[in-house]
Every structure is written in C-alpha cells, then in structure tokens.
Amino acid sequence: MSHDPSLVAHQFEDLDQQHDAQSMGMWLFLITEVMFFGGMFLIYGVYRIRYPEVWNTASQFLDLRLGAINTAVLLVSSLTVALGVRQAQLGNNEGIRKFLLFTVALGLSFLVIKGFEYSAKFEHHLWPGDPQFVAHYTGPSPMHAKLFFSLYFVMTGFHALHIVIGLGLFGWIYARAQREEFTPDSHVAVEFVGLYWHFVDIVWIYLFPLLYLIKPTP
C-alpha cells in the first residue's frame, strides 16, 4: 500500500520510520509512568509487610462494592477504547467518535463513583489530615493506619488524575475525528491515546486488590 507523502514529517524518510519513532517515544513515556507508580507500589509493599494487621483492619474501611463497580467500569472502557482504535484503523471517524463517547461516559462514571468514596471518607473523618481521625478510626495503631489512608488517597488520587488527563486526550481525539482527520494510514494518535488508557486501567487492576481485597493474616 502506498502512503501519502504529506503525512510524513520532514525529519523522517517514510511513514514507517515516523511511526517507529513515535512508538518508541510513547513506550518510553509509559516506562516513566511505570516507574512513577512503581515507586508508590514499593512504598505500599514495605509498609504492608511492616504493619500487616493495621493494613488488614484499615482496608475494611474501604467500600469494596464501589471499588468493584469501578473495576468493572474500567474494564468495559478498555473494550470501548479497543473498538475505537479498530474504527481508526478502518478510517471510520464516525465510529471513533461513537466509541470515544462511550469511553468518556465510563471514565466520568469512574470519577463520580470515586468522588462518592472520597466524600464518605471525609464525612467519617478517615482522611489522615483530619484532627478527629484517631477518634473515628476503630482499629489498632491509628497513627500507622494513617499511612494506609495516606497511600490510599495518594495512589488513587494520582490514578484519578490520569483518568482526567485521558478524558482530555479523548476530547482532543474526538475533535480531530469530527474533522475527519483519521485514515487507515494516519491514526497513530488514536492508538497511542488508547494505549495510555489501557495503562491507566492496568494500574487500577493492581490498585483494587492491593487496597480493597486485603485478607486477614493467619
């Protein structure tokens, strides 16, 4: 298949070389993201090993039902993103817009549910900075429990921030699809934004069991 020369930036010899360079840049970016979240997972693991009883008790204050619903929401959103990428490969801009709208609706649903979770924690004084935290946390070692809730808010908060960024990127892709910019030869932006969204979903797949599914230690 011949490629439109107008799609190739001046610094590249052809479209394949351009795509390879873009792919390398995207994967390097994702590696930095893995390192970013990996640092938080490492801190989480160290404290969980040191305070297993506290981690188990504090985890019971999280809403497992809402966490499970959000997990299902993101899994479905990964499907809609994949379907949107497939439409981009076919050059179907209308199909891209349709599946992006589904994905954005699911992403917003995730944030709303997470907002309810955060609101409940603030209402029950389970935010680590709340001066009434010790009085309302009915478990061992309240000061160590603050570490758990600090990590909960930091890890899920940064994840939610990545969701917001993803929604903004979907808005950019939608606007381009509205202008019928994507073709079978030129849709790399859709693929990369989809890859970013899959990464964000995978992070949650790790966060959910680590935070919500802690079992009592024997």
Q: Quick one: pLDDT at residue 12?
A: 47
Neighbours of 73 (CB within 10 A): 20
Per-residue burial over 186-203, b = 16 or more CB atoms within 10 Å of its CB, e = otherwise = bbbbbbbbbbbbbbbbeb
- Domains, in order of start, for the chain: 11-212 (1.20.120.80)
pLDDT digits (tens, 9 = 90+) for 47-58: 999 999 989 989
This prediction has a pTM of 0.87
Average pLDDT, the chain: 88
Alpha-carbon distance 20 to 30, whole Å?
15
Alpha-carbon distance 197 to 103, whole Å?
10
Is the pLDDT reported for residue 6 higher than 60? no
Show the CA angle centred on residue 198, arms to residues 119 and 210, nearest 5°.
Answer: 50
Reported as a pLDDT band with limits 50, 70 and 90, residue 98 is: very high
pLDDT digits (tens, 9 = 90+) for 137-166: 887 888 888 999 999 999 999 999 999 999
- How many CA atoms are closer than 13 Å to the CA of 103, on its beta-carbon side? 32
Alpha-carbon distance 54 to 214, whole Å?
11
Q: Quick one: pLDDT at residue 99?
A: 97
Say how far residue 94 (Cα) sits from the centre of its chain. Answer: 25
Reported as a pLDDT band with limits 50, 70 and 90, residue 43 is: very high
Reported as a pLDDT band with limits 50, 70 and 90, residue 3 is: very low
